Structure formats: structure tokens, C-alpha cells
Amino acid sequence: MSITLDGKAVSATIKGDLAARVERLKARGIEPGLGTLLVGEDPGSVKYVAGKHADCAEVGIRSIKRELPADASFDDIAAAVRELNEDPACTGFIVQLPLPKGIDENAIIDLIDPAKDADGMHPYNLGELVLHVRGGIATPLPCTPRGVIELLAAYDIDLDGKEVCVLGRGITIGRTIGLMLTRNAVNATVTLCHTGTRDVREHMRRADVIVAAMGNAGFVKPEDIKEGAILMDVGVSRVFDEEAGRYRIKGDIDKACYARAAAYSPNPGGVGPMTRAMLLANVVEMAERQ
């Protein structure tokens, strides 16, 4: 029987621990605060930001919301970032992506104070992750890769010496998870596959673990995995369900693969809730470091 890696259940446990840690911080006169900067009214972004603030309420973290219209200029957005950098009530914050067309997203991210980078995606923090192969790391970690690793750890799945095939080279997880998986504490061997990879399906068939983050619905098929593989589905596609008459979220891994797997994270309900929990964890850890 395959094990379902339940991100909802694990994230609920993590939130319970974070709530207790927040109470201890407040007893010392420290109240963690998460800021969000939302530009425009993209429905997906609006919903995602609302979810982050609902999570904050659940664990006792202060919510700090900044919103700008879709026609905001680069200077307007930069000014809002600087305000959050300087706001003592804001422990950490995120700039919700994507930003409107014509805005240089990397330039905006560069303006975030690395010590307040709740997503763990500032170039300084990514550089610290590159440097610290051994021992602890005192800078915020990228939320989605951290969520994958924490979800596996919650089910006592040891990655030491495992062959991990990562599908997709996006900055959110594809390019960053290899840095975390190959740290001494995890000790996995990683193959990063992308559109230029020859025989990608052969790489998958050799892997002990597949982390699929392509945004290509159902790309991984049962014949692409070996018996007993561990499947982490991170890709998100909106696929129209003709029977239901609406769009549904579908992952990169065909559900028919589950019968061959030792363990799998469903999509939705797997890595997504873990990503949100890791954002809260980053903010609480920032406050604790203060």
C-alpha cells in the first residue's frame, strides 16, 4: 500500500507548534508580524494572499497588508518595499508575484531587506544557502523546497544517499531544492531535468524520489517510475473538467502512478499547505533570532 503524504495534516501540526512559540515570544514582548505587498487584482494572487493572512490569524502572527493598483509604477512599488523594510512591526514580508507587466520583478526583490525576506528568495539568502553546506543556517530558507523536505521528514523518509530527480528549473523550487537536498544534513544526490534534458524519462525511471515541478499536467506516467519510488507533486496546472463544467487543479504526476509508489504527495493537499506553513515558520524564526 502506498503512503499518502498528507500536507494538510502535517502543516496543521506545524502550525500548532508555531502558535505555542508565538505565545512564548509575546510573553517576552515580541510580536511577529508578516507583511504582504499585493499589486493589482489577479484572482490567484488575491486568494493566495488572503490565505496567508488567514494562516497568520491561526497562529497569532500580526498581519500587515499593503496593496497597490495594477498601474502602480516601479517607484511606487519600491517605496512600499522600503516602508515594509523600515516598519518595526513587520518581522518579515513577501512581495506577491507576478507583478504587472513591465515591472522588473528581480529588481524589486533585490530591494527587500534580506533579514525580512520571508520567502527566503533574496539573492543574499540564496547565496548563504549555497555557502552553508554543513551545519546550521541562520537565514530564511525557500518555502516550497523546505516544505517538501519537512513533509518527507514528518513520515520518517530518509533521503541520505537517495537518487532524486527534479523536474523543472524554476526559481521557486527547481533551482533551489537541489541546494537543500545536497546539504550534508540531507545528503541526497540530485539530477535536475529541464527542457534541454535528453531522455528525461530514463532519469525518472532510475530515481528513488521524483520532485515534479513543471506545471505540465499528468506528465509523469506509471511507466516512468520504478516500483517503490517516492513521488512529490509540486506542479500546478488549471485543467478544465468537462463533466463538472469548471477548472480544477491538476499536478504533474498522473494519479495512476500512485499504485506503484511507496509514498506520494497528492496535489492539491500535499506540498501546497506545507509551503504556507514554512512561510509562517520563517517569520517565527526571524522573530526568535531577534
Residues annotated in a binding site for NADP(+)? 168-170, 236
Q: Out of 55, 117, 119, 252, pick the active-site residue.
A: 119
Q: Out of 52, 116, 162, 250, pick the active-site residue.
A: 52
Quote the CA–CA distance of 82 and 71 in Å, as a whole number.
19
Q: Out of 15, 96, 162, 250, pick the active-site residue.
A: 96
Helix orientation angle between 43-59 and 7-27, rounded to the nearest 10 degrees: 50
- CA torsion through residues 81, 68, 119, 27, sign: positive
290 is catalytic: no
| CA angle (248 as vertex; 244, 249 as ends), nearest 5 | 160
Residues at the binding site are 168-170, 236
Single-letter residue type at 39: V
**Residue 95: in which H helix or E strand, if any?**
strand 92-95
Task: Give the total residue count for the chain.
Answer: 290
- Coil vs helix vs strand at 277: helix
- Coil vs helix vs strand at 193: strand
162 is catalytic: no
26 is catalytic: no
- Coil vs helix vs strand at 122: coil
Q: Which residues are catalytic?
A: 52, 96, 119
